[in-house]
Amino acid sequence: MSSIIQLLPDHVANQIAAGEVVQRPASVVKELMENAVDAKATDIKLIIKDAGKALVQVIDNGGGMSITDARLCFERHATSKIRLAEDLFSLGTKGFRGEALASIAAIAHVEMKTKQEQDELGTQIVIEGSKFVSQEAAVLPKGTSFAVKNLFFNIPARRNFLKSDTVEYRHIVDEFQRVALAHPTIHFTFYHNGSEMFNLPSSTLRQRVVNVFAGKTNEKIVPVQEDTDIVTIQGFVSKPEFAKKSRGEQFFFVNDRFIKSGYLHHAIMAAYDGILKDGAQPSYFLYLTVPPNTIDINIHPTKTEIKFDDEHAMYAILRASIKHSLGQFNIAPVLDFDRDANLDTPYSFKDLGGATPTIQVDRTFNPFSDDKINKHYAGGGGGGNVSYKKTASTANWESLYVGLDKEEEFVATSGIEFESEMVTGSLFNDGEIEQTVQNTYQIHRKYIVSPIKSGMVIVDQQRAHQRVLYEQFLTNMTVNQASSQQLLFPLELYFSTTEMELIADLKLSLVNTGFIFDDSYGEHVVINGIPVNVVESEVSILLEQLLSDLQDGIPENSFSQNDSIAKSMSRSLAVKTGTSLTIKEQENLVNGLFACKEPNVSPFQKPTFITMRVEDIDKKFAV
């Protein structure tokens, strides 16, 4: 019987490996930028077109490669980072698998230009689907340039699997930010479709964080610094009042490598315990430096998860350092045993008792006596050299009462008319008190019970309000007849660069809901008007929730986009469980719900009410 097991051809093996290494254009960005960092580049440029589907190019001024290395780097398992298996436990570089370039070359058109500083000429190589098309010498500057074009050109199924340009672009920005934040001393530049998106010069750690996220980031963060034998921690955490609903701006770096760790995230949340609102997420940018032999970074294909030798100690140190930082900058309450020496009692007065003040009263003083007044205010009263003289108008005060007879002590009131209030109705009708019929009742500040002919209806107040607001917003955006309330003072809100781009894409839909935008700048947006059912204090929360809900991408279809915005806004503005409603508010909510086109379910397909018939209640009491 012939054998059925055979070796795969190299191009097939490379395509299979590409499934793990290259999931989307952002994966190519990550691999190429990490290679540029490993090449000790001080200036790295990232150029993309059509969200990386048409072009991903990384240009660096690093060490470059020789002719042999330039050809060999596209072979599988070819790497300059490790030699022995033991090297995996002492890694100080990014890429080390040796599969990245081979995998990328298997599914795209790749053009590489590289030159070492001591060489006169560089090398230019063109590869299409693992096939070498050309290799020739060229006059090039020092460094390396990788241009990856037409990603997944030979795997149409994978290309169709890619999301919209907005989603893919956001993934690329995420990877760019992770590499840029890990290396603040390198100058990074990012271009998308010919427009400069980021220009991050070499700077300090704090400046790099501020340059990446713009806005008022510098005012929102406080430093964290801790040095122990196990780990050295430095970085920044946000103040509790600037916590967000989403978990976007949260970064862990271990030995300059971005990682994800739910365990360490829990340590940070424990440090913020008691000073954060429910559901709020703090921002943090933390850099952990540990001995390379105490971690294992080879446990996940994307190398974003690592294993620590002593996770419990890491948890405790991280939690304590953040708690200390929050207390040090008077953000969290702490016990302070330091006293101000200026508030202490002077030594010479230590044993002296307080003297009881004496009070002197001049019992002969008469304020209506002429000589007493002049004597008192002329300086005898201690008020300065001020003298008062009777004026002619006050000297003859007796003349004011001339003509009044002492016998006429009472005034006749018979001719005086008093203004009376008009009685519009009687408080009592036929001897009985008028009673208003209450048609709704609130239970546990969550449900509204209203009687109906066949029994009663129980309404979930939060879901019902979501349905009412959802249809209102959707109607306003469709008909373009939203009502707005003008703000006396314009509202300025600051967002990061990526969030500002999302708001620019959503601007037209937000205007249709009732927002009035004055102008948008690079770091903030100015709002002059808001929808009538939105409170000014809720605007920032509303937009923040909207950006969080749409962080995975804005639907390209206009109706789907309006639907997503209406859902997000209704979720943010709906009355929450635990809110007490007046009888009028309860009735308006119930009436508004049953006036909707689809009152049965909320915008998120959850039931808004249930009905109970009298027969069902009778069965509960049946013996």
pLDDT tens digit string along 427-439?
444 444 344 456 8
For residue 539, count CB atoms less than 10 angstroms from its CB and return exposed for 0-12, middle for 13-18, buried for 19 or more.
Answer: middle
Single pTM value for the model: 0.68
- Summarize the chain as % helix, strand, coil (round to 5): 35, 20, 40
Instruction: Answer whether residue 350 shows pLDDT above 70.
Output: no
The values of phi and psi at residue 112, to 5°, are -115, 135
Nearest to 200 by CA among 185, 209, 188, 190: 188
CB 184 within 8 A of CB 203: yes
Distance CA(464)–CA(462), nearest Å, equals: 5
Can you read off the two tokens belonging to residue 173? Answer: 């920005």
pLDDT attached to residue 386: 47
Nearest to 219 by CA among 526, 523, 538: 523
The values of phi and psi at residue 95, to 5°, are -75, 135
Give the full edge-to-edge strand order of the sheet including 484-494.
484-494, 524-531, 516-520
Distance CA(586)–CA(459), nearest Å, equals: 10
With bands split at pLDDT 50, 70 and 90, how would you rate the model's confidence at 255? confident
With bands split at pLDDT 50, 70 and 90, how would you rate the model's confidence at 508? confident
Q: Which amino acid is at 274?
A: G
Mind listing the pLDDT tens digit for each residue in 158-181?
888 888 888 888 889 999 999 999
Q: What is the SS3 assignment for 162?
A: coil
Radius of gyration of the chain (CA): 38
Instruction: Answer whether residue 74 shows pLDDT above 70.
Output: yes
Mind listing the pLDDT tens digit for each residue in 90-120?
565 665 555 778 888 888 999 999 999 988 9
Tell me whether strands 250-254 and 284-289 are parallel, antiparallel or unpaired: parallel
Give the full edge-to-edge strand order of the sheet including 109-115.
131-138, 122-128, 109-115, 143-149, 55-60, 43-49, 187-192, 195-200
Mind listing the pLDDT tens digit for each residue in 285-302?
999 998 888 877 765 556
pLDDT attached to residue 329: 74
When comparing pLDDT for 11 and 59, which is higher? 59
When comparing pLDDT for 553 and 427, which is higher? 553
pLDDT attached to residue 382: 47
pLDDT attached to residue 344: 61
Determine which of 9-18, 116-125, 349-358, 601-610 has the lowest per-residue pLDDT on average: 9-18
Mind listing the pLDDT tens digit for each residue in 120-156?
999 999 999 888 889 999 999 999 999 999 998 888 8
Residues 6+ apart with CB under 8 A from 571: 466, 545, 549, 603, 604
Please state the rounded mean pLDDT for residues 315-322: 92
pLDDT attached to residue 356: 79
Determine which of 147-151, 266-270, 363-367, 371-375 has the lowest per-residue pLDDT on average: 371-375
Q: Which amino acid is at 234?
A: Q
